[in-house]
Amino acid sequence: MCDDEVAALVVDNGSGMCKAGFAGDDAPRAVFPSIVGRPRHQGVMVGMGQKDSYVGDEAQSKRGNREMIIWWKLECF
């Protein structure tokens, strides 16, 4: 690709996985679960490395934690 050409960004926000890459590539450059999670109680663990929200694999790894509420991002029609 020339320096003055710009590739289109392609994002597939599926009900199970999100995939992102550039038009013309053979495969997506990023693939991660379509899941978002937030702590049940905001601000309780401040300073303990807790975030406001978690996305993808990080949210999936905290799914069994009772302090987390998980929302699945579904495709919009």
For residue 1, tell me if it sits in a domain: no
**Statement: the pTM of the whole predicted model exceeds 0.75:** no
The CATH number given to whatever domain includes residue 60 is 3.30.420.40
What's the whole-number mean pLDDT along residues 46-56? 76
For residue 38, tell me if it sits in a domain: yes
Domain of 60 in residue numbering reads as 9-72
For residue 31, tell me if it sits in a domain: yes
In angstroms, rounded to a whole number, what is the distance separating the alpha carbons of residues 11 and 75? 12
In angstroms, rounded to a whole number, what is the distance separating the alpha carbons of residues 31 and 20? 7
- Describe the strand order of the beta sheet including 35-39 as a list of residue ranges: 54-55, 35-39, 68-72
For residue 2, tell me if it sits in a domain: no
Nearest to 8 by CA among 19, 20, 16, 17: 20
For the chain, the domain total comes to 1
2-50 pLDDT per residue, tens: 667 888 999 998 888 999 999 999 999 999 988 888 887 776 655 667 7
Question: Which residues does 13 contact at the CB level (< 8 Å), separation at least 6?
Answer: 34, 73, 75
